[in-house]
Amino acid sequence: MNIPFSPPFIDQDTINEVVDTLQSGWITTGPKVKALEAEVVKLTSCPQALCVNSWTSGAMLVLKWFGIGPGDEVIVPAYTYSATALSIIHCGAKPIMVDVREDFTIDPAKIEEAITSRTKVIMPVDIAGLMCDYTAINELVSSQKNKKLFIAETEKQKQLGRILVLSDAAHSVGASFDGKVAGSVTDITIFSFHAVKNITTAEGGVICINLPTPFNNEEEYKLMRLWTLNGQTKDAFTKSQSGGWKYDILFAGLKVNMPDLCAAVGLSQIKKYNNELLKKREAIAIQYHSFFQEFEWAQLPLMNDEKRKSCFHLYPLRIKGISEIQRDNMIDIISKLGVSVNVHFIPMPLLTLFKDMGYHIADYPIALDNYSREISLPIYPQLMNEEVKYVCESIKEAYLQVLNAND
């Protein structure tokens, strides 16, 4: 068997939606993007949703909107994809990395230790689709102590009067925390619609705007939308209407809008997300759980607890008692058996850029332990029962081979 890791979900509805866009004569930002934004609002109950061309550009946009720049600090987990920290570096600010918990999510106790008068934003990451402890994080930013420490330097910072919580929800569309769906739990939530994500637009992302009073979320949507289009007062669609040629540039915005051609792909998926795509992912996670729970050497990922429900973006299995080299050997064997697996993630302090910046992996022992024993298994709606069984047997076979090699 040959089992890919994460092929995109493309069915006839996707093709029809894309063809409809091509035939409409309008392919960049326009009605399909608006429709996708409306679907995101429906799915998440967030007040406003703004599509962009990637998670990364969305994060840079929000950081710039909040006035983040040199001298500012943004707290992130050491255990994430580098884009989380790169978005901060691109704004001239400093990522402050903290360790994670055993369940892969950022440790609120470590966040508390890292907060200084320079902290402007916290970016928790919902790894694999499991949301962070947002009760603790939202309490931290609202505490009198941390509000007093916060130095507001821009109009938006003054309006908020505290540290902004910007969730890296690249993995967590459809996940929930304390009865609320991702998108309506923190100030700002950004999903990724990259090709391997639960919902895709090939490349893309969406910013869920859920700011507290005195913010007017609709006004902030309009302002952020200007940020996606060079700070220009009229988008291409409006300009294309007769007599609509005149425009102004209000500030140095970015150019990170989502085209309708991409939105069409996401639109076809989001409509069947809760009732079809998410259910299939959950069924596969349950199938993996029931196979691996019999083996003492398998550490199953947390999918639910009393507050959280995952959206099963990844199935991050860990193997108890193995070294990083043994894990790598297991992956070689699994690959030879025709199964593509992955590792999420190489902690950032192990990567050259961050090592050169002075981050040390020794400061993040749980991130290192999680990484060194982790193997992400294929999980996507098209995966058939027989294929899941084959993945399970391949993992078991690789474990036995690696273990026997050490006898």
Ligand X SMILES: Cc1ncc(COP(=O)(O)O)c(C=O)c1O
Positions that interact with ligand X (CB under 6 A): 54-56, 80-81, 83-84, 125, 168, 170-171, 192, 194, 205
Minimum CB distance to ligand X, residue 59 (Å): 8
Minimum CB distance to ligand X, residue 80 (Å): 5
Minimum CB distance to ligand X, residue 171 (Å): 6
Distances (CA, A) of 329 to 114, 288, 372, 375, 407: 36, 21, 12, 11, 15
Distances (CA, A) of 287 to 8, 214, 292, 297, 298: 21, 47, 9, 17, 14
**Which residues share a beta bridge with 315?**
377
Length in residues, the chain:
407
Mind giving me the DSSP string for 312-324? -S-EEEEETT--H
Minimum CB distance to ligand X, residue 295 (Å): 28
**Which residues share a beta bridge with 51?**
206
User: What letter represents residue 267's amino acid?
Assistant: L
Q: What angle do CA 365, 370, 376 make, to 5 degrees?
A: 160
DSSP 169: -
Smaller CB distance to ligand X: residue 84 or 228? 84
Smaller CB distance to ligand X: residue 189 or 192? 192
Minimum CB distance to ligand X, residue 344 (Å): 7
Minimum CB distance to ligand X, residue 191 (Å): 9
Name which of 139, 214, 206 is nearest 169 in CA terms.
206
Smaller CB distance to ligand X: residue 88 or 298? 88
Mind giving me the DSSP string for 359-400? --GGG-HHHHHHHHTEEEEP--TT--HHHHHHHHHHHHHHHH
Smaller CB distance to ligand X: residue 48 or 192? 192
Smaller CB distance to ligand X: residue 90 or 396? 90
Minimum CB distance to ligand X, residue 190 (Å): 8
Smaller CB distance to ligand X: residue 84 or 198? 84
Mind giving me the DSSP string for 272-294? TIIIIIHHHHHHHHHHHHHHHTT
C-beta separation of 312 from 286 below 8 A: no
Smaller CB distance to ligand X: residue 130 or 170? 170
Cβ-proximal residue to ligand X, closest one: 55
Minimum CB distance to ligand X, residue 169 (Å): 9
CA atoms of 301 and 379, how far apart (whole Å):
13
Smaller CB distance to ligand X: residue 257 or 287? 257
